[in-house]
């Protein structure tokens, strides 16, 4: 069962699928929460995020993965925990507070290179899935052009087809990929 299938089942109220989704992301999210807000409250943060996912399951968007959403949610909730700690005098000094916020900012998925690489890997997987959705001939021409770096003329000669056919298939592939990726990445 793919993660997309799990998300669909959770959206329909399937508790077992929710448990599988929980297990799939639990350890990585706890580690991430500990990085942002400290180990003391990391598990609570992740529990709260998954509670919100369950309570708002009807509004889940059916995507290939919830990881970007979950990471952003953990980050935001961890910052809220740090802010509340400041307000409730759990942090001993202004200096400690600044260190905590700078550490949290370093773990921001939009600024941290390691987290950005995780996102990039996720995007690369989505692009590969999009390429796999292309019709066979279109996919082959696109791969030769963009992934193998061959010119349209070389592809036409290798495949014994006209140059205009190659041009049309590459245009078609780009149009399909652009549409697929816009739909999937804007929801990520």
Render pLDDT for 95-124 as a digit per residue (tens, 0 to 9): 566 666 666 666 666 666 666 676 677 777
- How far from chain centre, in Å, is Cα 163? 37
- How far from chain centre, in Å, is Cα 184? 10
Please give the average per-residue pLDDT across 133-145, as a whole number: 91
Please give the average per-residue pLDDT across 124-151, as a whole number: 88
Hey, what's the torsion of the CAs at 86, 91, 96, 98, to 10 degrees?
Answer: -10
CATH placement of domain 112-188: 1.10.10.10
Please give the average per-residue pLDDT across 77-90, as a whole number: 70
Q: pTM of the predicted model, to two decimals?
A: 0.49
Give the right CATH number for 1-111 from 1.10.1740.10, 1.10.287.110, 1.10.10.10, 1.10.10.60.
1.10.1740.10
How far apart (Å, rounded) are the C-alpha atoms in residues 159 and 140? 10
Percent of the chain residues topping a pLDDT of 70: 78
Please give the average per-residue pLDDT across 68-81, as a whole number: 89
Residue 91 — very low, low, confident or very high, per pLDDT cuts 50/70/90? very low
Percent of the chain residues topping a pLDDT of 90: 36
Of 93, 96, 118, 100, nearest to 28 (Cα)? Answer: 118
Residue 184 — very low, low, confident or very high, per pLDDT cuts 50/70/90? low
The full length of the chain comes to: 188
Looking at per-residue pLDDT, the higher value among 173 and 109 belongs to: 173
Output the average pLDDT for the chain.
82
In the chain, domain spans: 1-111, 112-188
What's the pLDDT score for residue 137? Answer: 92
CA angle centred on 33, ends 62 and 188, rounded to 5°: 25
């Amino acid at each position: 069962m793919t993660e997309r299938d799990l998300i669909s089942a959770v959206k329909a109220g399937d508790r077992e699928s929710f448990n599988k989704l929980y297990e799939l992301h639990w350890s990585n999210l706890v580690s991430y929460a500990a990085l942002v807000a400290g180990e003391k409250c990391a598990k609570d943060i992740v529990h709260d995020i998954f509670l919100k996912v369950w309570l708002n399951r009807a509004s889940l968007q059916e995507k290939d993965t919830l990881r970007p959403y979950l990471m952003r949610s953990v980050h935001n909730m961890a910052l809220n925990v740090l802010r509340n700690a400041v307000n409730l005098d759990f942090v001993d000094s202004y200096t400690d507070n600044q260190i905590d916020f700078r550490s949290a900012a370093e773990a921001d998925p939009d600024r941290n290179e390691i987290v950005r690489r995780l996102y990039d890997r996720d995007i690369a997987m989505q692009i590969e899935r999009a390429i796999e959705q292309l019709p066979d001939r279109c996919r082959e021409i696109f791969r030769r052009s963009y992934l193998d770096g061959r010119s349209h003329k070389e592809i036409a000669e290798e495949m014994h087809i006209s140059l205009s056919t190659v041009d049309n298939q590459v245009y078609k592939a780009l149009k399909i990929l652009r549409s697929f990726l816009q739909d999937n990445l804007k929801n990520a």
